[in-house]
Amino acid sequence: MDKPKRLFDCVALQLHKHPKTDMLAAKVNGSWRTYSTTEVKETVDSFTAGLLELGVGGNDMSDEGVDKIAIISNNRPEWLFTDMAVQQTGAVLVPIYPTTNAHELQFILNDAQVKYIFVSSQDLYEKVKSICAFVPSIKNIYSFDHINNVDHWTMVLNMSSAETLQKVETLKQSTPEEHLATIIYTSGTTGTPKGVMLTHKNIVSCARFGIESFPFPENPSYKVLSFLPLNHIFEKCTSYIYMFNCISIYFAESLDTIADNLREIKPDGFDTVPRLLEKVYEKIMSKGSELTGVKRKLFFWAVALGEKYDNNISGGPWYNMQLALANKLIFSKWREALGNNIKFIITGGAACQEKLLRIFNAARIPVYEGYGPTENSPVIAVNRQGPGLTKYGTVGPAMNGIEVKLAEDGEIIVRGDTVMKGYYKRPDLTAETVIDGWLHTGDIGTWVENTKHPEYRFLKITDRKKELFKTSGGKYVAPQPIENLLKSSPYIEQIMIVGAERKFVGALIVPSFLMLKSWMLQQSIPFTTNEAAINNPKVLDLYKNIVEEMNPNFNHVEQIKKFELLPREWSIETGEMTPKMSLKRKIVMEKYKDVIERIYA
């Protein structure tokens, strides 16, 4: 078969290369239900034909005139069935986070003029139903779960006929690679959602360059576990990478069952975000803190060895011998908890703590950090498999096939087939963001030389252009490096640096209450509530010492002079985090206005 040009070509490609019995899989009533490549093809084609019977399409229409179909669902095979079926009609998929609030949801559905919407569950159906009266373009809502008095998605499947199935084959062949495949709305950390328009060529190019750069193995026996939201371009793009490479995708039941699902299917890899890796690490450290005697000493000895690990510089025979022993005694249990078969974990979406990368890689759990915005489909750079192609603290070399450079102010800009078509209905924003073909990311970076492979310099993100702030003394402060270092303390769960137009730098700190409880127990300090703990003088002294130990790593103007401890973790549900688990700084500033004022009182 020729090189794939459209996303849905992954099915035909897999049928040609390695037809599988488990192209996709998910838990149904407690057992794994697998879908063969042939079954996926038949399902997607029938679904496409059914959508055509509903009047969905738009192969030859403008971006604004083409039909839009929305999906709000957890990760499951039906998600990808819908994605590929919509693509094959020539319509455009608008994926929406299940956690999107009703106000934003209403804006997106109206902005895109969505015609039909597919939801996974009763609660999401109710959410959509509650705003339907304000979205006149919606004709019907279909569900993946069986819900009383709601049309099931298989109704569309069953509408297909021999005539429309024939039309599907013709449509597939005639869909150009420049055709719009999806509009992904990004709420970001501020403002109204923006619809990023990505074509088949954008995402297929990113997948192809990703396969070449990483490189991913084309191994029909490989499996991955999928749990990051599929409506995020990171998980969507890697899902197509896996399907193009004949790697099976198993969908986790939920975020709560990831640990069980890892042990059940023993995957070769998965994608994650740093926040989830941090939570895994915190749980491991919390269990380690409960150990006593020799076991406790061995545990923390192994972790300390891991913190010193460098994949590019040998620690010498003595260090290597100790690390081999630590892997046998301690880290082997970490690997078992992940299914004992992990060959790669790819992390993106935010900066990953260097300490975590060192420890996990020392434990023979290979974690590779990458980087890129939705507007680039998304990958710009990724640490790679292979000696000398990964450097902790960087996001790796630029991906093959695209041009990456730094503007005069250090902003990362990129040009190539992966750059978005533009923002939907926002030519003004598009013109500000894509200049002479160069996508301006808003991220500030620097190049780190690669001594082993000079042609593969490493890209290091230093900050967000919009997040740099000035103190009242006129000095610039970049919050991310300060936050990343402070988060390396096991006692700090989350942190946000404040101080714009103020005399000095302050911080809002959310303690890691698991670790704090353990510390208080050792100090014979009773733990009652989070609120009581953060007001305990000894606890305040603990955090004061942590901050004072870290401060010498920064210039005087960047050092934290005062901080406030907060009793609750920031989350998507409470509104301080975006769905990809980035901090909404503006929201935190507003929500904790009084607390910030206390810092500067």
The model's pLDDT over 251-286, given as tens digits with 9 standing for 90+, comes to 999 989 999 999 999 999 999 998 889 889 988 998
Task: Flag whether 439 is in a domain.
Answer: yes
Pair 57, 147 in one domain: yes
Task: Place 326 in a pLDDT band, splitting at 50, 70 and 90.
Answer: very high
Pair 293, 439 in one domain: yes
Ranges of beta strands (E only) in 384-486 are: 403-406, 411-415, 422-423, 434-435, 438-448, 458-464, 469-470, 476-477
Distance from C-alpha of 491 to C-alpha of 512, rounded to nearest angstrom: 5
In the three-class reduction of DSSP (H, G, I as helix; E, B as strand; rest coil), residue 379 is classed as: coil
Ranges of beta strands (E only) in 84-232 are: 92-95, 114-119, 140-143, 151-152, 180-186, 194-199, 223-226
- The total number of structural domains in the chain stands at 3
Task: Place 189 in a pLDDT band, splitting at 50, 70 and 90.
Answer: very low
Q: Which two tokens stand for residue 322?
A: 């100790």
Distance from C-alpha of 95 to C-alpha of 230, rounded to nearest angstrom: 8
Count of C-beta atoms within a 10 Å radius of residue 590: 11
Pair 221, 369 in one domain: no
Q: Is the pLDDT of residue 357 over 70?
A: yes
Q: Is the pLDDT of residue 480 over 50?
A: yes
Task: Place 31 in a pLDDT band, splitting at 50, 70 and 90.
Answer: very high
Given a contact cutoff of 8 angstroms between Cβ atoms, the answer to whether 160 and 50 are in contact is yes
| Length of the chain, in residues | 601
For the chain, how big is the Rg over CA atoms in Å?
Answer: 25
Q: What is the mean pLDDT of residues 499-521?
A: 94
First to last CA, the chain: 69
The pair phi, psi for residue 2, each rounded to 5°, is -65, 165
User: What are 93-149's pLDDT values in tens digits?
Assistant: 999 999 888 888 999 999 999 999 999 999 999 999 999 999 999 999 999 999 999
- Provide the residue range defining the domain that includes 300: 270-466
Pair 262, 275 in one domain: no
Pair 241, 280 in one domain: no
Record the pTM: 0.87
Identify the domain boundary among 251, 267, 283: 267
Mean pLDDT of the chain: 94
Task: Flag whether 189 is in a domain.
Answer: no
Task: Flag whether 462 is in a domain.
Answer: yes
The answer to whether the peptide bond before residue 552 is cis (omega within 30 degrees of 0) is no
DSSP state of 224: E
In the three-class reduction of DSSP (H, G, I as helix; E, B as strand; rest coil), residue 349 is classed as: coil
Q: Which two tokens stand for residue 180?
A: 């719009």
The pair phi, psi for residue 341, each rounded to 5°, is -145, 10
Task: Flag whether 192 is in a domain.
Answer: no
Given a contact cutoff of 8 angstroms between Cβ atoms, the answer to whether 272 and 346 are in contact is yes
The single residue listed with the structure tokens 């913190």 is 307
